[in-house]
Chains A and B, each alone.
Chain A
């Protein structure tokens, strides 16, 4: 059972607001990820991190930013939310162990609606 948490689970917010989506994991995993997913569609990687002070942009361009000050915490921030940001955001983590690519464990997701 994975221990990865996301808050809030649901968020409805007006255009122009600044928001931060929280993600925490208690497994000591070095790698963490943020994905964006429209309902029933495939996941797109928007940010990832291989450890503290390491952040990279993913395949899908995103106006969001992330930080990794602590191993267990990987928040995602939108400075000015827009309706086009309406989506589900999924956080994941995995071990960094040699060359083996290990499975990612996912949080429950945050469903964001921007009015």
Chain B
């Protein structure tokens, strides 16, 4: 069985602050993939990143960065200099041999002007 835990239910920051969203996962697979999705108030899920279990390099894309650490089974997401448009629910997800996505419960991020 696999599991994704996003312990932060809600986070509120003021614009331009940095914010980190935590994601901890459990799996028995040696090959697996991790994802982050953004769900704005409009409802659709927007794909942000995919990372496979053999690639522990951190990734940066503009103001977004991801820290993958197999030793702690974590795949954290940091937004630098947050903006109001970053307000959304962010989901971490995992898949492995079962080939189905398991989602965390999501973190509601509110960026205040």
Q: In the complex where A41-B106, A101-B33 touch, is A106 in contact with B89 (Cβ < 8 A)?
A: no
Alpha-carbon separation in the docked complex, A111 to B99 (Å): 27
Alpha-carbon separation in the docked complex, A54 to B30 (Å): 28
| Residue in A43, A90, A106, A108 whose Cβ sees the most chain B Cβ within 10 Å | A43
CB of A65 within 8 A of chain B? no
CB of A40 within 8 A of chain B? yes
CB of A48 within 8 A of chain B? yes
Binary interface encoding of chain B residues 88-113 relative to chain A, with 1 for a CB under 8 A from any of its CBs, else 0: 01010001000111011110100000
- Chain A interface mostly: loop
Question: How many interface residues does B have (CB within 8 Å)?
Answer: 21
The reply to whether B44 and A104 form a contact with Cβ atoms under 8 Å apart is no
B93 to chain A minimum Cβ distance, whole angstroms, is 8
Q: In the complex where A40-B108, A43-B91 touch, is A109 in contact with B44 (Cβ < 8 A)?
A: yes
The reply to whether B101 and A45 form a contact with Cβ atoms under 8 Å apart is yes
Give chain A residues whose Cβ lies under 8 Å from the Cβ of B70.
none
Give chain A residues whose Cβ lies under 8 Å from the Cβ of B103.
42-43
B66 to chain A minimum Cβ distance, whole angstroms, is 14
The reply to whether B43 and A109 form a contact with Cβ atoms under 8 Å apart is yes
The reply to whether B45 and A42 form a contact with Cβ atoms under 8 Å apart is no
Alpha-carbon separation in the docked complex, A110 to B20 (Å): 30
The reply to whether B95 and A108 form a contact with Cβ atoms under 8 Å apart is no
| 10 additional A-B residue pairs with CB within 8 Å, beyond A45-B101, A106-B44 | A42-B104, A42-B105, A43-B91, A43-B101, A58-B100, A59-B100, A90-B43, A90-B44, A101-B95, A106-B37
Chain A positions 63-115 with a Cβ under 8 Å from a chain B Cβ: 88, 90, 92, 101-109, 111
The residue in chain A whose Cβ has the minimal distance to the Cβ of B44 is: A108
The reply to whether B100 and A40 form a contact with Cβ atoms under 8 Å apart is no
